Amino acid sequence: MWTSHLVKPDHNIRLMDAKADVPKDYQGAKAEISKRLEGLREDLRGYQELLSAQGKHRLLIILQAMDTGGKDGTIRYVFGGVNPQGVSVTRFGVPSQEELAHDYLWRVHQHTPGKGHVMIFNRSHYEDVVTVGVKKLVPDKVLRQRYQQINDFERMLAEEGVTVLKFFLHISKEEQKRRIQERLKDPKKHWKFTLSDMQSHKRWSVYMKYYEEAISRTSTAWAPWCIVPADKNWYRNLVVAESIVDHLKQFKMRYPKLKLNPNKVSF
């Protein structure tokens, strides 16, 4: 199912054409999907334990979205049931002075996952081609160089054994407006609101243009993008969870065998 949302390499996507709403076949299926999600969370818990026990594979999950797009909610829901020792989250905000003094991949590379570990990026080096592009912090020529550098960087990670999964949580402009209004209305959500939410809303079409370009240039065989219809949380969670579980399944992991005869262990 999630494969229908994958972006083929060298394919020019248009986010206006990509649906943010639940696809027709799944509309009205919320109750059924919620049950399926519980099963997927259980699968994920088991696979993550195997990944950790085996200590061989590394998984990097990159989440990008417009403000209010649901990155935090996805992490909370999809990974809510796994052993916290095996999964980490790194958020990437406005770069610090020290980060700005380095190349833009410097702060990212040090957080890529080690063996047996899952790392989730809440924002990523894609801010350095999208937000940085929208705000004209570097010339377009530098942006074009960065697409290639990012592809090379991610290929290196893949060749070194890191599985890289990239999700763009795609919400509609109307849904963002609704979510911003909700943040303003609910005192428990005030802390989430910043003026940058409004700026991104006002510059929606410019952000879409930079996202389209970035996703089209960097969806590769070794690190493909999945554009997740994200107006409804349950469908968004389903796509992300199913994709991750299917990738973990493909690892065909086994618990490592004991290297000695258990009968010969004496107390």
Two structure tokens written together for 230: 């994200």
Binding region for Mg ion (CB under 5 A) out of 18-26, 64-72, 84-92, 160-168? 64-72
Binding region for ligand AMP (CB under 6 A) out of 73-81, 113-121, 126-134, 258-266? 126-134
Write down the least CB distance from residue 113 to Mg ion, Å. 24
Write down the least CB distance from residue 162 to Mg ion, Å. 27
Binding region for ligand AMP (CB under 6 A) out of 124-132, 183-191, 215-223, 248-256? 124-132
Angular region, 10: left φ>0, alpha ψ -120 to 50, beta rest:
left
End-to-end CA, the chain: 51
Please identify which residue in 54, 88, 90, 131 interacts with ligand AMP, judged by CB under 6 A.
Answer: 131
Number of residues that bind ligand AMP (CB under 6 A): 10
Write down the least CB distance from residue 54 to ligand AMP, Å. 32
Of 140, 114, 118, the closest CA to residue 129 belongs to: 140
Q: In Å, how far are 20, 161, 200 from 197, measured between CA atoms?
A: 18, 36, 5
Binding mask 80-99 for ligand AMP (x = CB under 6 A): ------------xxxx----
Q: Restricting to residues 147-206, name those near Mg ion by CB under 5 A.
A: none
Residues 86 and 51 sit within 8 Å (Cβ to Cβ): yes
Of 231, 250, 253, the closest CA to residue 242 belongs to: 250
Which stretches of the chain are DSSP H helices? 30-54, 71-78, 97-100, 106-109, 131-134, 140-159, 173-185, 195-202, 204-218, 233-250
Question: Which residue in the shown chain puts its C-beta closest to ligand AMP?
Answer: 127
Indicate which of Mg ion, ligand AMP, none lies near residue 123 (CB less than 5 to 8 Å, by partner kind): ligand AMP
Residues 256 and 54 sit within 8 Å (Cβ to Cβ): yes
Give yes or no for residue 175 binding ligand AMP (CB under 6 A): no
Give yes or no for residue 127 binding ligand AMP (CB under 6 A): yes
Question: Which residue in the shown chain puts its C-beta closest to Mg ion?
Answer: 67
Two structure tokens written together for 132: 């940085």
Write out the residues near ligand AMP by the rule CB under 6 A: 92-95, 123, 127-128, 131-132, 196
